[in-house]
């Protein structure tokens, strides 16, 4: 079971690219679109946090070389993804506060 987990790590890990958040991409969105985007990002944060929790709870045998390191790398990637999504949420919230005062 643990061997299968480690063999599947490259598939789970994905690309570790950190994209910067560009607030101007939200400039053309109306309030409804901003609300929908914010909801989708919140769902993404939740699912990524659950995934990180599942990775944390995976029991890797102590004798499996590199097992704990692989778990640590995956947790760090999920944490970075959560931080990126939260930065996007902050950009959307700022844009929404600025343009949708009466519609919140």
Q: What is the mean pLDDT of each run of 10 residues along the chain (104 residues)?
A: 42 48 77 92 95 90 88 95 95 89 66
Q: What is the per-residue pLDDT for 9?
A: 43
pTM listed for this prediction: 0.71
Give the start-to-end residue ranges of the domains of the chain: 27-99
Q: What is the per-residue pLDDT for 103?
A: 62
Q: How far is CA 87 from CA 11, 42, 67, 75, 94, in A?
A: 25, 11, 31, 18, 11
Residue pair 39/94 in contact by the 8 Å Cβ criterion: no
């Amino acid at each position: 079971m643990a061997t299968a987990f480690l063999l599947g790590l490259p598939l789970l890990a994905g690309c570790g690219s950190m994209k910067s958040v560009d607030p101007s991409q939200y400039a053309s969105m109306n309030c409804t679109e901003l609300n929908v985007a914010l909801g989708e990002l919140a769902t993404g944060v939740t699912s990524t946090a659950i995934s990180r929790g599942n990775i944390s709870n995976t029991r890797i045998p102590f004798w499996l070389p590199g097992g704990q390191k692989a778990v640590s790398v995956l947790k760090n990637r999920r944490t970075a993804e959560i931080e990126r999504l939260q930065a996007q949420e902050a950009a959307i919230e700022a844009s929404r506060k600025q343009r949708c005062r009466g519609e919140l």
